[in-house]
Structure formats: C-alpha cells, structure tokens
C-alpha cells in the first residue's frame, strides 16, 4: 500500500474532500483537489479551508515519505502553518510540497536527542499552472516516550 493509499484510507478529511495523491516521494508530494461545487467559495473557487487542507495534507505526505522509517521512535506533528492566497483559484487545484531541509540533517538532530523542526513549502496551482497559494508548514519529530 502506498503512502497516498494509506492516508486516503485513514485520514477522514482526505476522503471528505476527495483528495487525490498524484505523487509521494521523500522529496516531493503532489495532491489534487477536484472541482466540487459543495466546497466552492463566494467567487466560485475552492474554499480557503479546502485549499489549506490540501496544502497541509501534501506537507504531511512528504513528511511521512521522508521520515516513515523513524516512526518507531518519533511521531511527526505539525507545529505551525502559514498560507498566502496569491490569485483566485478556479476549478481543480494541485498542491506540491517539498522539504526545505535535508532528511539526514533532521535525522541527525533526532539522533542527538533533540526535537527537530523543519519547514515544508507548498505551492498550490490551478490547471493553467498559475500559483494561487503558497504555504509553509513547520513540522517536528517528537520523540516517543
């Protein structure tokens, strides 16, 4: 089972919004939010909350792909998130998430007994490729007790 399939099966918001996992690797995750009338805002595009969920879900997918081998000793948790809406998004949108720190550097901090934090950048695009939103989600690996 792929990370995308696992998350789709276990995360209720992923199923609620019908998010699609297009690519999930330790370097990048790409998710799609289909155009659905029940999740549109007052200007006809995806609601800000749906786009936030799309971006946060993409960030979580890349984090699990990058640090899934650390789950026996640490749990990944989002610490904070910031989103900027750049253009009106109409129709289906995709979110592409990338890690902003090397995996080995984060794992080295965990090995040293600290609780690493690391940012994940997310670009939200509409079908014509225009960036409609940018998001940063800071994650941590909280060591298990």
pTM for the full model? 0.95
> Residue 38 corresponds to which tokens in the numbers above?
């029940």
Q: For residues 110 and 142, what is the distance between their CA atoms, to the nearest angstrom?
A: 9
Query: In the block, which residue shows the tokens 């109409």?
Result: 90
Under the banding of pLDDT at 50, 70 and 90, the label for residue 26 is very high
Q: What is the CATH number of the domain that holds 71?
A: 3.10.129.10
Nearest to 123 by CA among 91, 100, 102: 100
Q: For residues 47 and 39, what is the distance between their CA atoms, to the nearest angstrom?
A: 6
Report pLDDT for 40.
Answer: 92
**What are the Cα distances from residue 111, in Å, to 69, 79, 88, 99?**
13, 20, 43, 19
pLDDT exceeds cutoff 90 at 4: no
pLDDT exceeds cutoff 90 at 53: yes
Query: In the block, which residue shows the tokens 């330790």?
Result: 26
Strands (E), 20-116: 20-24, 28-33, 74-85, 93-99
> Residue 109 corresponds to which tokens in the numbers above?
């901090």
Report pLDDT for 104.
Answer: 98
Report pLDDT for 64.
Answer: 96
Q: 28-51: per-residue pLDDT in tens? A: 999 999 999 999 989 988 999 999
Domain count across the chain: 1
Q: 62-107: per-residue pLDDT in tens? A: 999 999 999 999 999 999 999 999 998 999 999 999 999 999 999 9
* Residue 34, domain extent: 3-143
Query: In the block, which residue shows the tokens 């948790």?
Result: 77
Report pLDDT for 125.
Answer: 98
């Amino acid at each position: 089972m792929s990370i995308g399939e696992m998350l789709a099966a276990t995360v209720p918001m992923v199923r609620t919004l019908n998010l699609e996992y297009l690519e999930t690797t330790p370097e990048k995750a790409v998710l799609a939010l289909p155009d659905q009338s029940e999740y549109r805002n007052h200007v006809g595009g995806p609601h800000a909350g749906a786009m936030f969920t799309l971006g946060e879900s993409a960030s979580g997918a890349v984090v699990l792909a990058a640090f899934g081998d650390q789950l026996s000793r640490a749990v990944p948790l989002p610490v904070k998130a910031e989103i900027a809406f750049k253009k009106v998004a109409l129709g289906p949108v995709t979110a592409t998430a990338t890690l902003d720190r090397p995996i080995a550097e984060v794992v080295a901090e965990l090995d040293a007994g600290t609780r690493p934090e690391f940012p994940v950048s997310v670009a939200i695009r509409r079908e014509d490729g225009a960036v409609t939103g940018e998001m940063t989600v800071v994650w941590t690996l909280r060591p298990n007790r």
